Amino acid sequence: MLLASAADLIVASPLFVLFMGSLTPLIVKVLNKNKEPNNFLSMIQGVGTILAALLLMVTVYFLLLSRANPFAFSNLIAVDGIAIIASTTCLLLALASLFLMRDNQSTNGDQFAELVFLTLNSVLGMLVLVMATDLLTLFVGIEVMSLALYMMIGISHEQKLSKEAAIKYFVLGSFASAILLQGIAFIYGNLGTTSITVLTEKADLLIGQSPLFAVGMIFLMIGFLFKVSLFPFHVWTADVYQGAPTPHTAFMSTAVKMASFAAFARIFVGSFLVNHDSMLNILQWIGAITIFAGNAGALVQNNLKRMLAFSSVAHSGYILMGIIVIGLGATKLGMTAVMFYLVTYSIMNMGALAMVSFLEKSYSDEISTDHIKGLAYKRPWLAGSFTVLLISLAGVPPALGFFGKFFIFTQALDQGLLWLTLWAGLGSVVGAYIYLKPIVYMYMIKDDDQNEVISEAAKDHEVYNNRKWFTKTVVLASAFTILVIGLLNTLLYHLLSARL
Amino acid sequence: MTAEVFLFWFLAIVTVVSALGVLFMPNPIYSAFSLIMTMIGVSALFALLGAYFLAGVQVIVYAGAVLVLFVMVMMLFDLKSEIKAFTKGTLGGVFKIGSVAVLAGLILSAIMVTTQGVAIKFQGQADFGMQPTRLLGNKLFTQYVIIFEILGALLLVVAVGAVALSRSKGGTHARRID
């Protein structure tokens, strides 16, 4: 057997470019006598690498499209529709996260070169994860992605909460990975192969016959439930998202979720839920409870980051509905709905967390609803953008978030998941309150201490925050994208649908 | 009771008891040693199953890594009383080393007996000795080469991350500015 053919290497070229490019900030730092190079320079290197990988990824996809065989490396990876949608989204989200990291006080300055390296390698893991057509590649992808993330959180300049978050995420994530691996072992024992393609073909038969295979699938799912923070494995989310530096929170809640859900969806293509009622019921309950746990948790939060963390749990619940639809056999429609939701949710959440990152005044600053009192009068454009993003997250009709929910709910109804849709609908009504609260604070509550003497330090922070150009760009761009795609939502839907 | 069954039960009991030891020992150093014992037990079980490569890797990677962990524990934390408790008394020391020697001898002989005397039934092919290892190597560098390469990237990520983590603010090797 050949080591790897030229075609294989071309398929993997985005990965190579990403890895090689991720080394440049480190090399520059070493050549600079281990002194931190200019942050902007490191960021540009990261951005350049990501753009190169993005370009290659799209090229590879269209090359493979003409060959009609998306697989490479003895069917271990494939650049198909799911991979191209998820990977381009992840790369763009990483780009936005790098912008935020450059501006945020808890991530810029010292050790920014290492941070860029870790971010790019985390994205490398995501690409491997979304391209994976074999359980082994999938596991390795998850590990590369997560290990880089743990350390990204750990090297924050904030010394207490972020270290706690890193340790919590690391310990719980390791358990989840171990359980996932155990699941893969059980599946391999029954299937005789680790290929996801074979798994999806035989899953619906095996799940009824072999209890061990069912256990394997359950373990595999537990691993994923943890990664995408679904009930009962969602409790880490609030602490980790709050403790991590805001740019990393933005990165985790969007790109990691995108990649994990894409891989999760791949496994459900096998429509094995049709033959397994109890698993279908359990997954429906998980979805419904997740939506309520997320929204209920967010209700009582004043800390914006914590609130968005709980809201991301709720959004995972909605996406799980789409995954269940895929598992019931409506592969293409369900997949399109899931991908649509993931793409739109990623844009909204990235923008919202970029706004939080913009407001932070120091590396240990925590933004609560009190901090955004009367913001609309001080920064009308940003407050307006934030409002658009929040309305979209709430799923109010004209905004993009509504269409994501709409496609998922209609697909779920088509599959006869009446009760689940009803619960999810109720949950999103509750959820609307939490997103409207910050808007009320921004527009309707005046800042009381406007007449107080502003200290020198506060002025400095104000000046620094005014210079967060990249963060501002991310906020405005994501709000703009939401508005534009909100109008052209069918276009995006057909674009995604044509790929899947 | 055949030799194979006896060896299995012996190794299983050693592994489980030392795994419990990891949990219940109040002294972290004893825990680390129990962990080494567990790893060696697991590797002997692998050898019993005919997975020699896995057994070797288990000893090299885990027992080696656990030893590093052990050194780290001693270096990073202030464990003077624990270390003293561990090194206390000549008679106790002789007894400890003696018991380790006996156990190591038992495990070694267990491995020897399994590899030579007992016929091991493979489900698939009747390959013995180094053949599975060669097969594994071949697979690793042909079929699974992409995973192998990505794992290389993973190791670099971990190495760079660990250094960055120790040098970050609040880390053990943080640069003193401020």
Residue B166 inside a domain? The answer is no
Give the count of Cβ contacts less than 8 A between chain A and B: 92
pLDDT band for position A122 (50/70/90)?
very high
DSSP string, A191-221: HSS-BHHHHHHHHHHHHHH-HHHHHHHHHHH
Residue B33 inside a domain? The answer is yes
DSSP letter at A247 equals H
Q: Which of A35-49, A278-292, A297-311, B95-109 shows the lowest mean pLDDT across its residues? A: B95-109
Q: Which of A51, A485, A128, A92 is nearest to A250 (CA)?
A: A92
B142, B146, B157 member nearest A121 (Cβ)? B157
A1, A137, A148 member nearest B157 (Cβ)? A148
Residue B133 inside a domain? The answer is no
- Tell how far CA A396 is from the center of its chain: 22
Mutate to test the interface with A, among B156, B163, B168, B178 (most CBs of A within 10 A): B168
pLDDT band for position B114 (50/70/90)?
low
Q: How far apart are CA A149 and CA A156, in angstroms?
A: 11
For chain B, the residues whose C-beta falls within 8 A of a C-beta of chain A are 141-147, 150-151, 153-154, 156-158, 160-165, 167-171, 175
Convert the pLDDT of each residue in A248-290 to its tens digit.
Answer: 999 999 999 999 999 999 888 877 777 778 888 888 999 999 9
Residue B105 inside a domain? The answer is yes
Length of chain B: 178
A452 pLDDT above the threshold of 70: no
Q: Give pLDDT, residue B117.
A: 53
B168 with A156: Cβ contact below 8 A: yes
B154 with A147: Cβ contact below 8 A: yes
Q: Give pLDDT, residue A69.
A: 79
A199 close to A165: Cβ distance less than 8 angstroms: no
Q: Give pLDDT, residue A469.
A: 86
For chain A, the residues whose C-beta falls within 8 A of a C-beta of chain B are 1-4, 8, 12, 15, 19, 26, 72-74, 76-77, 110-111, 114-115, 117-118, 121, 124, 128, 136-137, 140-141, 143-144, 147-148, 150-151, 154-160, 163
pLDDT band for position A1 (50/70/90)?
very low
Q: Which domain holds residue B74?
A: 3-125
Q: Give pLDDT, residue B120.
A: 47
Structural domain total, chain B: 1
Show the 3-state SS of B3-24: HHHHHHHHHHHHHHHHHHHHHH
A153 close to A169: Cβ distance less than 8 angstroms: yes
Q: How far apart are CA A337 and CA A318, in angstroms?
A: 11
Q: Which residues, 6 or more positions from A424, have their beta carbon under 8 angstroms from its beta carbon? A: A287, A288, A291, A317, A318, A321, A405, A409, A412
Mutate to test the interface with B, among A111, A131, A142, A159 (most CBs of B within 10 A): A111
Q: Give pLDDT, residue B178.
A: 46
CA angle A239, A244, A247 (to 5 degrees): 135
Q: How far apart are CA A264 and CA A262, in angstroms?
A: 5
Which chain A positions have a beta carbon within 8 Å of B158's beta carbon?
Answer: 147, 151
Convert the pLDDT of each residue in A163-180 to its tens digit.
Answer: 899 999 999 999 999 999
Torsion of CA A87, A88, A90, A96, to 10 degrees: 160
B147 with A76: Cβ contact below 8 A: yes
A361 close to A466: Cβ distance less than 8 angstroms: no
Which chain B positions have a beta carbon within 8 Å of A76's beta carbon?
Answer: 143-144, 146-147
B145, B151, B160 member nearest A26 (Cβ)? B160
Mean confidence (pLDDT) of chain A: 88
Q: How far apart are CA A95 and CA A48, in angstroms?
A: 9
Q: Give pLDDT, residue A487.
A: 85
From residue A98, alpha-carbon distances to A159, A327, A482, B142 in Å are 21, 35, 20, 36
CA angle B165, B156, B145 (to 5 degrees): 150
From residue A368, alpha-carbon distances to A63, A253, A267 in Å are 49, 19, 39
Which residue carries 């109040």 as its tokens? B26
Which chain A positions have a beta carbon within 8 Å of B142's beta carbon?
Answer: 1-3, 74
Q: How far apart are CA A82 and CA A30, in angstroms?
A: 38
Residue B146: closest C-alpha in chain A = A73
pLDDT band for position A98 (50/70/90)?
very high
A485 pLDDT above the threshold of 70: yes
Max mean pLDDT range (A122-136, A435-449, A467-481, B68-82): A122-136
Q: Give pLDDT, residue B97.
A: 83
From residue A116, alpha-carbon distances to A20, A120, A134, A475, A491 in Å are 12, 6, 28, 21, 34
A386 close to A475: Cβ distance less than 8 angstroms: yes
Residue B85 inside a domain? The answer is yes
Which chain A positions have a beta carbon within 8 Å of B145's beta carbon?
Answer: 3-4, 73
Convert the pLDDT of each residue in A332-357 to its tens digit.
Answer: 888 999 999 999 999 999 999 999 99
Max mean pLDDT range (B42-51, B71-80, B134-143): B42-51
Which residue carries 């969602």 as its tokens? A234
Q: Which residues, 6 or more positions from A482, have their beta carbon under 8 angstroms from its beta carbon? A: A344, A347, A348, A351, A388, A389, A392, A399, A400, A401
A129 close to A145: Cβ distance less than 8 angstroms: yes
Which chain A positions have a beta carbon within 8 Å of B163's beta carbon?
Answer: 114
Q: Which of A12-26, A54-68, A371-385, B65-79 shows the lowest mean pLDDT across its residues? A: B65-79
Residue B173 inside a domain? The answer is no
Q: How far apart are CA A336 and CA A497, in angstroms?
A: 5
The rounded percent of chain A whose pLDDT value lies above 70 is 97
Please compute the mean of the pLDDT values over residues A480-486 and round it to a whole number: 88
Residue B47 inside a domain? The answer is yes
A151 with B157: Cβ contact below 8 A: yes
Residue B46 inside a domain? The answer is yes
A347 close to A279: Cβ distance less than 8 angstroms: no
Structure tokens at A219: 């373990």
B160 with A19: Cβ contact below 8 A: no
Residue B166: closest C-alpha in chain A = A155
SS3 A78: strand
Q: Give pLDDT, residue A448.
A: 65
B150 with A136: Cβ contact below 8 A: no
Q: Give pLDDT, residue A136.
A: 92
Q: How far apart are CA B75 and CA B42, in angstroms?
A: 28
Q: Give pLDDT, residue B78.
A: 62
Task: Kindly report the number of other CB atoms within 10 A of residue A333's CB atom.
Answer: 19
Please compute the mean of the pLDDT values over residues A117-144 and round it to a whole number: 94
Q: How far apart are CA A155 and CA A176, in angstroms?
A: 23
Convert the pLDDT of each residue in A376-433 to its tens digit.
Answer: 888 888 888 999 999 999 888 778 888 889 999 999 998 888 898 899 888 888 888 8
Q: How far apart are CA A331 and CA A398, in angstroms?
A: 27
Q: Is there a cis peptide before residue A397, judged by omega within 30 degrees of 0?
A: no
Q: Which residues, 6 or more positions from A51, have their beta carbon under 8 angstroms from its beta carbon? A: A95
Residue B150: closest C-alpha in chain A = A140
Which chain A positions have a beta carbon within 8 Å of B167's beta carbon?
Answer: 111
Mutate to test the interface with B, among A10, A23, A76 (most CBs of B within 10 A): A76
Which residue carries 């419990």 as its tokens? B20
